Amino acid sequence: IASWFMNESDLVIVFGASFANHTGIAEYKPLIQVDYDPMALGRFHAVDVALQADVGVASTQLRKGVASRAEGEIRDEVSTRRGIWAAEKQRRMADDEGHGIGAAAVMAALTNQIADDAVICVDVGNNTYSFGRYFEASGNQDVLMSGYLGSIGFSLPAAMGAWAAVGDSRQVVSISGDGGFGQYAMEFTTAVKYGMNITHILLNNGELGKISKEQRAAQWDVWQTSLHNPEFAAFAALCGGSGSRITRLDQLDPMIRSALDHNGPTLVEVMTDALLV
C-alpha cells in the first residue's frame, strides 16, 4: 500500500530514514531526504535535495508551506488500496503447489493468535520478508529484528533476552526459518533450563530460501542452499520443551493457539513451500 502511494506521488519526502540497497523508488520521482546525520544523506539512493536538519523542526517548517488536503480524500484512497491488498493476501493464503504451506497463511494465523501486547522477534531471510508483507500488527506489540545487519539466527536469542526483560508479563514469540534456527538451536535447552515462556515459530522449507531466491534472480543455478534437517518438533521435545509439527492449513490456528497457551518453551515447526513467500 505504502509502495503504491509512494510511486503515485508527485514528490517523496523522507524523514530520518536511510534507504536500503533494495529500496524500490522510481528514479524519476523528485526526492527530498531530511536527516540530522549528514553521512546518511544520499548514501544509498540519489536525492534531489539533501537537507541536514532536525526532523521535527524541518517537518514543522515544511507544513507551513504545504497546502492542506481533505482527510476524507486520502482515507478513501487508503481504504481502496487496503481492500485490494487484503483480497490479494486472501488469494495467496489458499496457494498450494503441493510442496508445503504458503507464508501468507502462516502469517495470517499468527496475526489471529498472537497477543496484542506481545514481543515478537523475527530472524532474517524470506521468513522476515513474509512477516513484513503479511503480518498485521495490532495493539502494543513490539517487534525486534536484526534488519540489514542480516544476523541469521537472531530471533531465538532475541526472544530469550526479551523474556529476561519482561518475564511472563507479556507473550514472547520468535519467528525464523530452518536455516536461522539451526544457528543457535541448542539455545532451546537454555530456554528449557530456565523455564522461559517462549513460543518459537519455525518455517521449515528445507533450504536457505532467500539465498536460493537471489541465485534464481541472478539467473544462476541454485547451488548449495539445501539443508539436511532433523525433525525440529521432535528435537524440541528431546530438549525437554514442547514441539509440534504442522503440515496442513487446517492445523495452523489450533496448533499455534495450543503452543501459545503452553507454559514453558515451545516450538511449532511449519512445513512450508520455499517459493510461496
The mean pLDDT value for 157-166 works out to 98
The total number of residues written for the chain in this structure: 277
What domains can be seen in the chain, in order of their start residue? 2-64 (no CATH), 98-271 (3.40.50.970)
Q: What pLDDT digit, counting tens, does each position of 20-32 carry? A: 776 667 778 899 9
Burial (CB < 10 A; 0-12, 13-18, 19+), residue 166, is middle
Summarize pLDDT for 171-205 with one digit per residue, the tens: 999 999 999 999 999 999 999 999 999 999 999 99
pLDDT exceeds 90 at position 56: yes
Query: What does the pLDDT read at residue 112?
Result: 96
Please write the tens of the pLDDT for every residue from 108-135: 999 999 999 999 999 999 999 999 999 9
Name 33's bridge partners. Answer: 14, 50
What pLDDT shows up at residue 2?
81
Q: SS3 for 29?
A: coil
pLDDT for residue 17:
85
How many CB atoms are located within 10 Å of the residue 135 CB?
Answer: 21
**pLDDT reading at 158 higher than 90:** yes
| 71 vs 225, higher pLDDT | 225
The answer to whether residue 139 scores a pLDDT higher than 90 is yes
The answer on pLDDT for 148 being more than 80 is no
What is the overall mean pLDDT for the chain? 93
What pLDDT is stored for residue 134 in this prediction?
Answer: 96
Residue 7 has pLDDT above 90, yes or no: no
Per-residue pLDDT tens over the stretch 89-103: 999 999 989 999 999
Tens of pLDDT, residues 28-51: 889 999 999 999 998 888 899 999
Q: CA of 212: how far to CAs of 18, 148, 219, in Å?
A: 27, 18, 11
The residues near 158 (Cβ < 8 Å, ≥ 6 apart) are 121, 144, 146, 174
Rounded average pLDDT over 270-274:
97
Average pLDDT for 156-174? 98
Q: Are the beta carbons of 160 and 188 closer than 8 angstroms?
A: no
Stretch 61-82: mean pLDDT, rounded?
A: 82
The dihedral of CA 212, 213, 218, 219: what is its sign?
positive
Q: Is the pLDDT of residue 72 over 80?
A: no
Instruction: With a cut of 90, say whether residue 71 has pLDDT above it.
Output: no
Give pLDDT tens digits for 240-262. Answer: 999 999 999 999 999 999 999 99
pLDDT at 18 over 80: no
Per-residue pLDDT averaged across 216-226, rounded?
91
Per-residue cell: 162: 526479551
